[in-house]
Structure 1
Amino acid sequence: MISSAVARGRPKRNSGQPVGIQTVETALDVLGIITQEGSAIGLSELSRRTGLIPSKLHRYLVTLVRYGVVKQSISSGMYDLGPTALRIGLAALNRHDAIGSAQEVVSALAANTGCSVGLYVWTELGPTLVRLEIGAYLPTVLRVGTALPLIHSATGRVFLAHLPASETARLLRKERADAKADGLDFPTVQEIAEMSQAIRNSEIYWTRDAIIPATVAVVPILRKAGDPLCSIVAILPRGRSGDSQKARIAEQLQAARDLLQKEIGFDIADDELASPAAQRRVRELQGRLEGLAQVRQESGKP
């Protein structure tokens, strides 16, 4: 909740910190609550959460909507993050060197395998798509900026397995409450723990039990244990998910993981990177990346 002094427009008195522009701070507090909600929120609930009276809150929302930071649903009147907020978030991610490298790797993986390949990062909304390279087959429409559920998506389950429980608890409670309200089954705490342990024990998480009606493979890119930088998901084309095809794609995903985790300083066991097969996979992927960079340079693309 926004403090009463802030709600009345008076500067906060906090020794050691300069006084800023109070209306901007209040607008950012409103935006922060919308972000934390994880889904659209109505005016009355937002008023309750912020402590601002609806008429005053509405004026802030009008400005935020005008600049595209927030959007309002025409049908429901509820408020959610807008396109400008998405552009700001993606721009911030692109300035992260490791995420930039991961996006390059996604392009190489799609070219190498023919799969559609997506890059997801963890945000307050959950696993969020930041890059998608469409390959030979994509059975559904995926949009950059879309957040996935934890339990009912393959990528969500991988983040759930590798993140600390404190990071995922809020979204998991919400998904459980939504399932109960809709009369749907939801896994028990023990079932979730067993599933998460199985995922952690696997280098790559393979499943057909996902939002996308296809065989998918998800590999986490770890900064350290319990701290995934991102996850890469490969969506296999129809008729190309046999054992031999899956083995080839697994090699590519492992090479991508090794390349990125080495770049960000993850302590990979020496014998994992020293094997000739692992070195060959990494060299092959690096060669593809260099080829893509050369093509962009010759075409004048950034």
Structure 2
Amino acid sequence: MSAPAFASWRAIARPMFRPAPVTIATRPRSGALPVLVNPAASRIDAEERSAHYDMRRPRGAYWTERCPTMQDEGPKTVQAFDRALAILDAFTPERSALGVSEIARITGLSRSTVHRLLVTLRRHELVQQLPDSTNYALGPHLLRLAQIAFSSVNLQSIAKPIMERLRDRCDETVGLHARLNPTTRTVLDQVESSQPLRRTYTEIGHPIPIYQGAPGKVLLAYSSRELQDEVLAGKLEAVTPRTITDPERVRAELARIRKNGYALSFEERVPGVSTLAVPIANHTGAVVAAISVAGPSTRLSRRRLLGFVPFASEAARAISAKLGYAGEEGAAIPGVAPKSVQGEWPPRAGAV
């Protein structure tokens, strides 16, 4: 290459490979060492810095109580929407009013991101700013949405497919039970076992004293102390030789049910039938129903019923979630039993 040609090439190429200009800035302290600053870095706006900050967190670090159920796997989601829902989930009955800093701490989002999302949520009445305060609370539009959601909730239709799966796992009849009035309950629905000898509920819709049988004991165990006292102050009639009619024994049984998260009945209401029941909770955390696994006592020993506990508890949690229950994993409601009772699967027939 000739000298003139080389000079021309260098004049063209030099700007392409020239490093970004660097200036020197000093810190406010006297005697501080100079700091090298790349002017290009100063062009990163606050949003980009916020996004960079959040990227350094573990993915999902801003998810709250409900959000851990959201998995990283699956279709890609809209991050802004996920963050907005995380802000809404930061509010609980115990934390009904929150400031920007509190929300940022709970969710792991930056304060600028929280503030920007709150502006959008407030515009749509999903949150509201409290009068004479910088705190926020959930907004009235959520009440309107909740009313629409409640109108489409039907316990039996929600529970049916889950009951069928539980029946398939246990191969015993699965029942759904709810309170009729303070002192009685009823059978709402059933999915029968495929076995020739099986439990079949014939009293669907009929009132049953709430203290009789495992499902009723579950509903009574999670009732108020005042209601328990009212029921136990009345006459407790025996329908089988094994019906518990001593008020103190019933009270002790209710305490065990609340501690364990499940109830057992061995021919306490129907001769020859043994039953396991666990509670179902709604969006407020109140127990509103019970799901049961029942069959002939000749096949369902205590050990075999205990082997069904984790599967019945899983079904109860699934139904409760569809009713809006958002309790923490491992809570006694709805129907989470201690690991110590989670027996072998499949349980051995005739085990005692």
- Normalised by the size of structure 1, how large is the TM-score? 0.48
Which is greater in Rg? Answer: 2
More helix by share: 1
